Amino acid sequence: MSIQTTIAAAAGSLPPSLARIARTVADAPSLVVDSTITEMAARCETSVASVVRFCRAVGVEGYAALRMALATELGRESAQFTASPGFGSEISAADTLREAAAKVAALEVLAIEETIGGIDDATLAAIVEAIDAADRILLFGVGASGLAAEDLGHKLLRIGRSAIVLSDAHEASAAAALGATRTVAIGFSHSGATRETRHFLRTARSAASTTIGITGQATSPLAEDSDHVLVTHAREPRLRAGAMVSRIAQLAVVDVMFVGVAQRRYAQTVHALQRTSDAARALG
């Protein structure tokens, strides 16, 4: 995971003074490259010691290492997204619609690349095997994460898998409580702290189901409740009404899981997709 994505992911769990630094760096990462540690501390209205603690909290040894990591990363991304004006900076009121759209598109492309690139092959294989062998697949998420659950449920139903998308927390808990060894429960939560989704997975695990967590935090509480975890990577812009980039990262994971399951019974999958497509077209 890139240093900017690491900072964005950590921001919500840091203490206030360090979270303030994280937000400043996330909004304008080039400030770190152009500022001394003293200047950065003053800009964030905190101490030099806090900046040092922040560096260690996001996995780098100190401010010099943070500057080097960000300079390298910004240079690489600038070359990659030359057609995206202002990439790496927040959407502002002064942006044209084209500039704002380019910034969003670049962040979404980056989220897909980082998420897919960071997937552990062995974990993905274990998840695909569990879904393929399941008699019942339960899917649950709250808000935008619920949309990712719905998407996977729709795809699995199209190829004849017994997938149930649960939209109510009480309904999800009840279904999870009736789990079994051939039941797979998949919970989606970018923060990894959504109470309802955690309860769903804990209940499913206590009923001997296989639990799978899709989250943006590898060390989140949701990950602790999961037998297998796939981590999404996303840098959300501040100007948003809900999940944007993280939603795209979750959908990328959904597609990868679906393709993995579909490949295991290739001929059967192609036949099922053709039949369901024909049935849908018959409605006009």
Please state, in angstroms and as integers, the Cα–Cα distance from residue 252 to each residue in 17, 94, 129, 192, 222, following that order. 34, 31, 19, 18, 19
Which pLDDT belongs to residue 179?
A: 79
Please state, in angstroms and as integers, the Cα–Cα distance from residue 77 to each residue in 27, 35, 67, 107, following that order. 16, 20, 15, 10
Kindly state the DSSP code that residue 265 receives in the 8-state scheme: T
- Residue 116 covered by a domain: no
DSSP strands (E only) in 190-238: 210-215, 228-231
Terminal Cα-to-Cα distance of the chain (whole angstroms): 45
Domain count, the chain: 2
Which of 62, 84, 106 marks a domain boundary?
84
pLDDT class of 83 with cuts at 50, 70, 90:
low
The answer to whether residues 140 and 234 belong to one domain is yes
Which pLDDT belongs to residue 100?
A: 84
- Residue 77 covered by a domain: yes
Domain that holds residue 36: 3-84
Higher pLDDT, 189 or 95: 189
Model confidence pLDDT, tens digit, residues 39-50: 999 999 999 999
pLDDT at 201 over 90: yes
Model confidence pLDDT, tens digit, residues 142-161: 999 999 999 999 999 999 99
For residue 145, the one-letter residue type is S
pLDDT class of 238 with cuts at 50, 70, 90:
low
- Residue 94 covered by a domain: no
Q: How far apart are CA 148 and CA 252, in angstroms?
A: 9
232 three-class SS: coil
Which pLDDT belongs to residue 79?
A: 73
The answer to whether residues 160 and 47 belong to one domain is no
DSSP strands (E only) in the chain: 136-141, 163-166, 183-189, 210-215, 228-231
Give pTM, 2 decimals.
0.79
pLDDT at 234 over 70: yes
Query: What percentage of residues in the chain have a pLDDT greater than 90?
Result: 64
CATH number of the domain where residue 7 is located: 1.10.10.10
The answer to whether residues 148 and 236 belong to one domain is yes
pLDDT at 236 over 80: no
